[in-house]
Amino acid sequence: MKIGITGVAGFIGSNLAKQLLEDGHEVVGIDNFSFGNKQNISQIENNPSFKFFERDARDASSFTDLNADTWVHLASQKIPRYSTSYHTLEDNYTMTGNLIAKCLKDDVKLVFASTSDVYGKNTVLPFHEESNLVMGPTNVKRWAYAVSKMYSEHKIIAYADEFGLKYSIMRFFGSYGPNQNTTWWGGPQAVFIQNILEGKTLEIHGDGMQTRTFTFVKDTVQGIMQCIFHPNSLNQVFNIANEPTEEITIKELALLIWELIKGNRNNPDIKLIPYETFGKYEDVMRRVPDITKIKNQLGFSPSWKMREGLRETIAWQTQLFESKK
């Protein structure tokens, strides 16, 4: 099959493209390099089954001459403080609209990257696909991201009802691994590893007791592949995450990364940064997925424990760090 990917030079996009090519598929990908980079696709750029175009997914004409059997829409503005709420809302809205129009016109499936952030402040755990989506106030910028993804989900489902759009919606829970962005855009693993490599203090937001359930990117890619190819994925929403038993506090994550790099947990250089420092900010205190649906319907089976995933990630990020010296 030929799979189209927006955001192919980003973290998840580049890992997905690599797997698809290894499995014998063709990939056509676009990226505007706003957050991705050429290095992420350097391993695959000469593969004759891979076609890359430096284009902007906000521009509908970027897709006119491209064809794929399914489009995986990953390009996105993620954290409002890295751009603005305006761009988070408008760019994500515009891109989703363009992808819906493209997929309807070509009568192909749209596989859309949503986020666990849509569960927001819901305290009823674990989060399953029918759980309530509980947002904070509109003057807290962080929610602009979740709202943009919620709106996209609603829009995709409405277009399916009204016009027969074929889709799968994927709610990723914190993915990490090789090719991740090495700032907060890439997540806490990226930042903590980078801090230790650079000899800087690890800064934890809040008291570090907030939890997440992280997914190694190879498991995330497994879930995406099932949403592309499995017939039971049609017009469904799925959590793509690790087992709920993998829930970990951010403080423990920092200590584990310290231990894996330094060989022990002696005198970790960790500082707690109060949430107030970020202005009007709200964090999600626990995020635990229910992955029963994707396991039962698509045969998903995450296999990467945090230690093993972190070892691969640290090895990749260390090599990148050394190569830039």
Ligand X SMILES: NC(=O)c1ccc[n+]([C@@H]2O[C@H](COP(=O)([O-])OP(=O)(O)OC[C@H]3O[C@@H](n4cnc5c(N)ncnc54)[C@H](O)[C@@H]3O)[C@@H](O)[C@H]2O)c1
How far apart (Å, rounded) are the C-alpha atoms in residues 182 and 180? 6
- 12 SS3 class: helix
Closest approach of ligand X to the CB of residue 175, in Å:
4
x/- map, 117-156, ligand X, by CB under 6 A: ----------------------------------------
Closest approach of ligand X to the CB of residue 314, in Å:
17
H, E, C per residue of 124-179: CCCECCCCCCECCCCCCCCHHHHHHHHHHHHHHHHHHHHHCCCEEEEEECCEECCC
- Strand positions, DSSP E, the chain: 2-6, 26-31, 50-54, 70-73, 109-115, 167-172, 175-176, 202-205, 211-212, 215-216, 236-240, 248-249, 270-273
How many positions of this chain bind ligand X (CB under 6 A)? 30
Nearer to ligand X, 127 or 268 (CB): 127
| 35 lies in the binding site for ligand X (CB under 6 A) | yes
- Options 18-26, 34-42, 224-232, 244-252: segment touching ligand X (CB under 6 A): 34-42
Closest approach of ligand X to the CB of residue 116, in Å:
6
Of residues 30, 44, 196, 227, which one binds ligand X by CB under 6 A? 30
Amino acid (one-letter) located at 28: V
Site for ligand X in 186-205 (CB under 6 A): 187
Of residues 34, 49, 292, 318, which one binds ligand X by CB under 6 A? 34
Site for ligand X in 38-97 (CB under 6 A): 56-58, 74-76, 78, 91, 95
Long-range contacts of 123-131 (CB under 8 A, 24+ apart): 123/285, 123/286, 125/286, 125/288, 126/244, 126/288, 126/289, 126/290, 127/239, 127/287, 127/288, 127/289, 127/290, 128/239, 128/290, 128/292, 128/293, 129/171, 129/237, 129/238, 129/239, 129/290, 129/293, 131/290
| 174 lies in the binding site for ligand X (CB under 6 A) | yes
Closest approach of ligand X to the CB of residue 10, in Å:
2
Site for ligand X in 304-323 (CB under 6 A): none
Of residues 3, 4, 5, 10, which one binds ligand X by CB under 6 A? 10
| 251 lies in the binding site for ligand X (CB under 6 A) | no
Closest approach of ligand X to the CB of residue 187, in Å:
6
By the 8 A CB rule, do 285 and 210 touch?
yes
Nearer to ligand X, 10 or 208 (CB): 10
Closest approach of ligand X to the CB of residue 112, in Å:
8
Q: Would the CA dihedral through 148, 153, 155, 156 be positive or negative? A: positive
Of residues 85, 115, 189, 233, which one binds ligand X by CB under 6 A? 115
List residues near ligand X by CB under 6 A: 6-7, 9-13, 30-36, 56-58, 74-76, 78, 91, 95, 113, 115, 172, 174-175, 181, 187
